[in-house]
Amino acid sequence: MFGKKSTMCTTCGKEIAVHERSWVYMQYPPSGMTNIQKYIELSGEVYCTSCVGKLEERK
C-alpha cells in the first residue's frame, strides 16, 4: 500500500540504489525544511555517477 518510490537518474533512467553516490541538482531549500527527501523528490533532478561524468565532459 505504501510502497517506497525508487529514485531514477534523470538522464539514463538507471535506478539509484541506497547508499550509492549521486548528484542532485536543486534550489537551496528554504529555512526550516525538515523533509529533505520529499523536497528532492518534488523539485530535484537526480543524476548517477556515470551521467555526471558525461555532462562534465560536454562542458
Instruction: Give the integer Cα–Cα distance in Å for 30 and 27.
Output: 9
- Contact, 45 vs 19, CB < 8 A? no
| Other CB atoms within 10 Å distance of the CB of residue 54 | 12
pLDDT at 15: 93
Instruction: Give the integer Cα–Cα distance in Å for 51 and 26.
Output: 16
Q: Residue 47: pLDDT band by 50, 70, 90 thresholds? A: very high
Question: Does the pLDDT value for residue 57 go beyond 60?
Answer: yes
Q: Residue 56: pLDDT band by 50, 70, 90 thresholds? A: low
Question: Torsions phi, psi of 10, nearest 5?
Answer: -65, -35
Instruction: Give the integer Cα–Cα distance in Å for 38 and 3.
Output: 15
What cell numbers appear for 5 in the block?
518510490
pLDDT tens digits for range 13-42: 999 998 999 999 988 888 877 788 888 888
